[in-house]
Structure 1
């Protein structure tokens, strides 16, 4: 995979009183949600599609979830 093809992590973070799904390094959110659960569901599907990591923050900015959907386990088949 070349440097240009590197996928970036998917983040769930606050956006005012709402929740935003963002791609690392991007200024503009992909999508805004009223409920964090909805944002997480959307972000999870995006992370799976992109084979990257999902990272979620609490309202105070602390990371409370990290899930990898990439090919980081060389022993896992399929």
Structure 2
């Protein structure tokens, strides 16, 4: 089984889950929430990413369930920078 990223995309009045590069949808469902649940299960199983597109087609969220190609650096905790990093930036301590 290949590790294709899973995309949740609008599909007319419904929502679809599509593997990256696939022309056909894996499944079409009635709500975005259903599509997200299915795409998450597939991405976890494959160790890939899930990309959620908005109604306009733009990616609005991305979640990694395998090896993260861009892991957080040790100097970051969530979205807050460590005091050492801030101090180094301002030339303090």
> TM-score w.r.t. structure 1 length?
0.82
Greater relative contact order (Cα < 8 A, sep 6+)? 1
Q: Unpaired runs of 5+ in structure 1?
A: 74-78
> How many aligned positions are there?
69
Q: Unpaired runs of 5+ in structure 2?
A: 72-93
SS of the aligned residue for 1:70 comes to: coil
What's the offset of the Cα at 1:8?
1.5
Q: What are the within-5 Å matches in structure 2 for residues 6-21 of structure 1? A: 7-21=3-17
**Higher Cα radius of gyration:** 2
Question: Please, what is the CA RMSD of the aligned residues?
Answer: 1.3
List, as ranges, runs of 4+ consecutive aligned residues in structure 1 with deviation greater than 2 Å: none
> TM-score w.r.t. structure 2 length?
0.70
